[in-house]
Amino acid sequence: MRPALAYGLLAARRRARSLVLPAATVATGAFLLVMVVVLMPAVRVQGAAFGRAADIGRAAVVISVLVLLVGALEVAITATRSIVARTREIGVLSGFGVPPRSIVVGLLVEPVATAAAGGLAGAVLGAAAAVTGSAAGLIAAAPAPGPVVSAVSAAFGVSLVAAALASAPPAVRAARRPPLVSLTG
């Protein structure tokens, strides 16, 4: 597995420029999710003024999760484009006897690393913004450490799982393709 991970990291490093936008989209979703979860007490207070506190809170969480999932799907689309561009390379690996499992692992490193970087950056920035906003008096409710940690963990976890699940099918298809088809296709 070590060579597969090294191959995946090398490929991700080569394509770093094309991974900036997907990582930024995941970071935006993670930032929003953390901010919404951390600021939920304030959202409920504001929602109570409209008489629909629970509905407004759920809507805010759903919207932020959707943005995070869109970011993870953008990572998967970028990974699929990368796989298509590397068809011959995958054929060469298959032709030299690299097991399909190792090829799949190597191909999944790029989207998982991208989602991890974006998710972690966005979640940490969201937590920092919530704490800073509360300290500056911009946010009425002080964020409790428990919800901050759980929101950061959720944002990071959702981005990783969604990117891996969405990127796995094209990686598996590419690894299972016969070498000759990959080399001539």
pLDDT, tens only, 53-105: 677 778 878 888 888 888 888 888 988 888 888 888 888 988 888 899 999 99
Percent of the chain with pLDDT over 90: 22
Least confident residue range of 52-66, 122-136, 149-163? 52-66
Q: Are the beta carbons of 35 and 129 closer than 8 angstroms?
A: yes
Q: Average model confidence (pLDDT) for the chain?
A: 85
Q: What is the pLDDT of residue 68?
A: 83
pTM equals: 0.82
Q: What does the pLDDT average to over 106-135?
A: 90
pLDDT in tens, 1-36: 788 888 888 888 888 888 898 999 999 988 988 888
User: What residue type is 125 in one-letter code?
Assistant: L
Residue ranges of domains in the chain:
2-7+18-178
CA dist 45 and 25 (Å) reads: 29
Separation of alpha carbons 174 and 157, rounded Å: 26
58-73 as b/e: b if 16+ CB within 10 A: eebbeebbebbbebbb
pLDDT at 185: 65
